Structure 1
Amino acid sequence: MIRPVEERYRTVRDLFPELRIEMVGGRIVVNEPGTWQHNTIIAQVLFQLVPVVAERGWEIWPNISVFIGAEADRYVPDLTVVPQNPVMETDEAVHGRSTVLLVDVVAAGNAYDDHVVKPMSYAPAGVPLYLVIDPFQRMVKLHGGPEVSGYTQVTVEPVGVALHLPAPWDHTLDTGKLLDV
């Protein structure tokens, strides 16, 4: 049986396929297209990730739900990096443990969700790495070591400091290129 909020979520998602529709904390969140600053940050992340992703045969998906449980919310990160042949729940939802990195850029109305709510759900779902880029606080936060109780490793750095992505990446991001430092 589909929960009423799940039904409303699917209806809104079907009505606005061009927008990122999420269900966060049981509420439906309609994310408008990003600002030029938001999109520039995403582009800078892509420039740094694409060589590694291409070398390893992974893929970057900009608009896919992450399945974190049957009775759970539905999140759509700004970027989702998946290995070859990821495990899918549906055509629109990849299993959290079948990702190699999720990336969100904080927007004015979603800071709490990106910093607090999503990590609490991603960790028990097995999402190995969750990167939050916060242009307002001029910092990046990398969550790793997922366990049922939460992430065991959280690295917070100001923009401008190199950020190492651990295995399976073993790659360093130049955070100074993400924002105009």
Structure 2
Amino acid sequence: MVRPVEERYRAVRDLFPELRIELVNGRIVVNEPGTWQHNTIIAQLLAQLAPLVAERGWEIWPNITVHLDEETDRYVPDLTIVPREPAMATDQAVRGTSTLLLVDVVSAGNAYDDHVVKPMGYAPAGVPLYLVVDPFQQLLKLHSEPEPSGYARETVEPVGAPLPLPDPWDCLIDTSGLLRI
């Protein structure tokens, strides 16, 4: 049985396929296209991660819903990295356990969702790594080691400090120029 909020979510998503439509804490959130600063941060991250992603045969998806489970929210991160043939819930939704890294860049209207709500949804869904880039606080926060109650590990680095990505990445993100926009 489809919940009424799920029906409304699907209707809005179908009406505006060019926008990122999320279901967050039961609210339908329509995300406008990112600002140039937001997109520059994503581009800088992509420049660093793309060579490793290509080398390992992974894929970068900039606009896909992450399936948490049947009875919960639907999030669309700014950047999703998946293995070559990820497990899909639907054509529009990849299973959380089949992701390698999710990234969100905090915008003025979504700080609480990115810092608090989404990590609590991603961890029980088995998302292994969730990176929050916060240009307002000038920091990066990496959530790892998902458990049913939340992430067991949270690594916070200020802009300028390298951010280590654990297995299967085993690399450092250079943050020195990431938020200098």
Provide the residue aligned with 1:19 in structure 2. 19
Tell me the SS of whatever aligns to 1:175. Answer: coil
Provide the residue aligned with 1:61 in structure 2. 61
Q: How high is the sequence identity, in percent, across the aligned residues?
A: 75
Deviation at 1:177, TM superposition (A): 2.2
Aligned mates of 1:52, 1:119 — CA distance in 2: 25
Tell me the SS of whatever aligns to 2:126. Answer: coil
Provide the residue aligned with 1:126 in structure 2. 126
Deviation at 1:78, TM superposition (A): 0.1
Aligned mates of 2:87, 2:96 — CA distance in 1: 9
- 1:90-133 Cα offsets, whole Å, 9 max, x none, are 00000001000000000000000000000001001000000000
Provide the residue aligned with 2:170 in structure 1. 170
Deviation at 1:179, TM superposition (A): 0.9
Number of residue pairs the alignment of both structures matches: 181
Aligned mates of 2:177, 2:96 — CA distance in 1: 28
Tell me the SS of whatever aligns to 2:11. Answer: helix
Q: How does 1:12-91 map to 2 (within 5 A)?
A: 12-91=12-91
Deviation at 1:149, TM superposition (A): 1.1
Partner amino acid for 1:60? I
Aligned mates of 1:122, 1:5 — CA distance in 2: 20
Partner amino acid for 2:25? G
Aligned mates of 1:44, 1:98 — CA distance in 2: 24
Partner amino acid for 2:31? N
Aligned mates of 1:11, 1:130 — CA distance in 2: 28
Deviation at 1:15, TM superposition (A): 0.6
- Root mean square deviation, CA, Å: 0.7
Deviation at 1:178, TM superposition (A): 1.1
Aligned mates of 2:96, 2:156 — CA distance in 1: 22
Any runs of at least 4 consecutive aligned residues in structure 1 with deviations exceeding 4 A, and if so which?
none
Aligned mates of 1:140, 1:157 — CA distance in 2: 5
Unmatched segments (≥5 aa) in structure 2: none
Give TM-score, length-normalised by structure 2: 0.99
Give TM-score, length-normalised by structure 1: 0.99
Tell me the SS of whatever aligns to 2:127. Answer: coil
Aligned mates of 1:14, 1:28 — CA distance in 2: 13
Provide the residue aligned with 2:112 in structure 1. 112
